[in-house]
Amino acid sequence: MSTETITIDRLGAQGDGIANGKDGPVYVPFTLPGETVAIARVKNQGTVMSIASASADRQEPPCRHFGPDGVNGTCGGCTLQHMADVPYRAFKRQLVIDALKSKGLTPEVGEIVAAHPGERRRVVFAARKTEKDMLVGFNQAESHHIVAIEECPISSAGIISRLPAIKAVGAAVATNADAFRIAVLETLSGLDLSVEGVKKLSDQQRRKAVEVVLGLRGIARVSLDGEILIEPAKPIVEFGGIRVSPPAGGFTQATKPAEEAMAKLVLAHVGKAKRIADLFAGAGTFSLQLARLGRVHAVEGDGKAIAALDYAARNTQGLKPVTVEKRDLFRRPLMTSELKVFDAVVFDPPRAGAEFQCKELARSIVKKVVAVSCNPLTLARDLAILVEGGYRITSVTPIDQFLWTSHVEVVATLEK
């Protein structure tokens, strides 16, 4: 390890400061362009020792767990709390512009839909039971060390106010000192806790855990590796006012405002389409609202998610017909011959994107397409396939759902 003083030239895609060293780039977390910093260096990684000259874009981090003066934060949940709002949002928008440009695409990219503190309704905590305590928090960056949190400005008050209850559940299901995960979703009927990575409980341990949960307030459901342990109240979320009970551990958008912003863009572009395909539909984030406009065919690989969507559609009045199909779209994308009956297609795949599906779409006659993505790089690849197939990108909107991180959602609309 060596110590040296360097000047940060730019931010990388992960939010780290990058300095141009004599032997290549040096990556320094928690720094900003233009700053002169003293670092301890191991190979091409630097740890800030002190800041000799701070950027005007540096701000006081709002969370005590982020670290002193925004340097070397302990909690690994956020990476950019030290960056002021305006340059932070510009950085995220630029990530989308750069990703598109890497594939030769130069559409106008709209202003980013901003995220705000306290909006996160879905949080994944790291947890571990020690001899003295139950640790619930986030892993330190590049580490398995869990930083137990007492506050979290990104998370909803409903989650943070129930941290003691979340700890109690963690302690009740932990059978050893191994680390595990607790995914927490705030629903209308209470917290939905999905625990993954705990050793199988004995019958006696299960009974004791159930007793603990029943003695707590505000817990709707607890599941272990997808199996429901106890469900005092069915967890309910709303997609545009339509009630759905998502499966245990199932995917939902992390914040309600981001979900609503995405849905608004999707619905506006689909417009008066009579037949709509919603691919990678999940539990119905878009499908159910689209069914107010036209007939919807929802396709999803997760059987429990598509069952939840189907149940909600059957039990909601005022919707056009909704058909569902359980199908692995990575292995079996909807073929061009199947797509010809649709006026509009919406797709919202995982981070890997929808390359094979887009190759079929590119050859189709579908007039309108909406691409929703949590990964600008795979989105750019997919959009390039569609553009080559004769589609025109009509809008690109970045949406900040993961505050103070380098992750950004995007909604892109296209027409044939």
User: Annotation-wise, does 300 bind a ligand?
Assistant: yes
374 annotated active-site: yes
| Catalytic residue (choose from 75, 78, 358, 374) | 374
Rg over CA atoms, the chain: 23
User: Annotation-wise, does 260 bind a ligand?
Assistant: no
Beta carbons of 78 and 404 less than 8 angstroms apart: yes
Give the Cα separation of 18 and 327 in Å (integer).
Answer: 43
User: Annotation-wise, does 94 bind a ligand?
Assistant: no
User: Annotation-wise, does 280 bind a ligand?
Assistant: yes
Annotated catalytic residues are 374
- Residues placed in the known binding site: 253, 280, 300, 348
- Residues placed in the known binding site for S-adenosyl-L-methionine: 253, 280, 300, 348
